[in-house]
């Protein structure tokens, strides 16, 4: 938060938290919305006093997406939209006068053998031996 050139808004709560900032040259606007504790929530995204025309991209991070674009829109001096942010997810909104950053890499799936909870003691022992002997 401290490195954001111009911090526009920030809110931390038990359910929905967000932070918004704009670049020094005022060509790129970033909004990060997270929902880690609460139920699925409908949010209103409202951007006022934008200088000129912008393109917006909505990226999502959740259990099956890693910075995947799920919505693109155009905006001018005033923009308002609604988005549902599901529990345990993050939405990153990027508004730019130029191009968007590319989508993130695909999410790696965890092999079935590593998802079996019954093997946790075995892997804990392996970690311990690695630390002690390593």
Q: What is the 3-state secondary structure (H, E, C) of 28-81?
A: EEEEEEEECCCCCEEEEEEEECCCCCEEEEEEEECCCCEEEEEEEEEECCEEEE
Answer whether residue 102 shows pLDDT above 70: no
Over residues 33-90, the pLDDT tens digits come to: 999 887 898 988 888 887 888 889 999 988 888 888 899 998 888 889 999 999 989 9
Q: Is residue 118 part of a domain?
A: no
Name the band, by pLDDT with cuts 50, 70 and 90, for residue 7.
Answer: low
Which CATH number characterizes residue 70's domain? 2.60.40.1180
Q: Is residue 134 part of a domain?
A: no
pLDDT for res 89: 93
> Quick one: which of 84, 81, 83, 89 has its CA closest to 34?
89
Structural domains in the chain (count) = 1
- Confirm if 8 and 50 have CB atoms less than 8 A apart: no
Answer whether residue 3 shows pLDDT above 60: no
Q: Is residue 81 part of a domain?
A: yes
Q: Is residue 22 part of a domain?
A: yes
> Which domain covers residue 27, as residue numbers?
6-105
Q: Is residue 80 part of a domain?
A: yes
Q: Is residue 93 part of a domain?
A: yes
Global pTM reads 0.69
Q: Is residue 34 part of a domain?
A: yes
pLDDT for res 23: 84
Task: Report CA torsion sign: 86, 13, 90, 71.
Answer: positive
Q: Is residue 28 part of a domain?
A: yes
């Amino acid at each position: 938060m401290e490195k954001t050139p111009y911090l526009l808004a920030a809110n931390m709560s038990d359910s929905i938290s967000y932070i918004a900032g704009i670049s020094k040259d005022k060509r790129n606007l970033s909004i990060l919305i997270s929902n880690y504790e609460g139920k699925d929530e409908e949010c209103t995204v409202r951007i006022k006093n934008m200088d000129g025309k912008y393109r917006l991209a909505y990226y999502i991070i959740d259990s099956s997406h890693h910075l995947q674009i799920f919505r693109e829109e155009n905006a001018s001096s005033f923009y308002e939209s609604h988005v549902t942010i599901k529990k345990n997810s993050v939405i990153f909104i990027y508004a730019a006068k130029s191009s968007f950053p590319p989508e993130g890499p695909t999410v790696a799936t965890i092999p079935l053998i590593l998802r079996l909870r019954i093997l946790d003691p075995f892997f804990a022992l392996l970690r311990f031996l690695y630390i002690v002997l390593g």
